[in-house]
Amino acid sequence: MAILSDKVAVVTGAAMGNGEGIARVLAQKGAKVILTDVSDTVFATADDIKAKGFDAVGYKMDVTKMTEIENVVNSVVEKFGRIDILVNNAGVIRLANFLEMSDEVRDFHFGVNVFGLWNCTKAILPVMVKQKYGKIVNMSSVTGPMVADEGETAYASTKAAIWGFTKALARETAKHNITVNAICPGYILTPMAEQIARESNPGDADSVIEQIAGGVPVGRLGHIEEIGYLVAFLASDEANYLTGTQVVIDGGSTLPETVSVGVG
């Protein structure tokens, strides 16, 4: 069902992982998808989506650099005349205990996860206000707002900040027919999840994934397309009365009262 027919969507961090899953599903649902990422892989991902008969174009873009963002936004508006959907998905994580964490690692997290989201929204929101329509979906996490493990202080802080940003911006933009919502994924099988597994147990990362999956009530990690389906709903007119919320998609991993999911 093409619930996003003719909508123009910008997805950050779309080269792989959740961003790739989001971009693929939005395209399948009828949107013209602009994939952005700091990695050149974004072009191959966009080309693969196009090869399957959907509308997609890739841009190399660093969310920490406002000039690059503005260049992409100007190009998209010139080509399509509008931007209906912004998915602030770009994110990073580096595990380090608080007392051992350098300021550079701290700033790296905030630069991408918080200020990158801020920059992209700042550049695209005026377009949405002018057209009196927009859907903004921010990628938070269960980590930070709800749970945390050792070594996640910087990451958790940034993901919690996204929740506050979402609520406040939703209040400001409702009068412009713009909704702002956040998604809080749990364990999704992404390159980031695999990286965490390798850092937790460099000798046997697969066992870490299996252990995590064993602690998730549904018995597995999520798929990137499942994040995409949720984004597609929040970005559609079916969700017009939904704003300022955070939606948890974690296979029930935050449900157990007496079992801790994770390693360490």
- Our answer to whether residue 241 is catalytic in this structure is no
Amino acid 5 reads: S
Residue 144, token pair as written in the block = 């930070």
CA-based torsion, 68, 25, 132, 247: positive or negative: negative
- 192 burial type by CB count under 10 A (0-12 exposed, 13-18 middle, 19+ buried): middle
CA-based torsion, 182, 27, 213, 202: positive or negative: negative
Q: What is the number of other CB atoms lying within 10 angstroms of the CB of residue 50? A: 15
Cα distances (angstroms) measured from residue 180 to each of 96, 148, 192:
31, 25, 25
CA angle in degrees (0–180, nearest 5) for 248-262-94:
85
Three-state secondary structure call for residue 131: helix
Amino acid 258 reads: T
Residue 178, token pair as written in the block = 């713009």
Residue from 59, 133, 155, 187 carrying the catalytic annotation: 155
Report how far apart the first and last C-alpha atoms of the chain are (Å, whole number): 43
What are the catalytic residues? 155
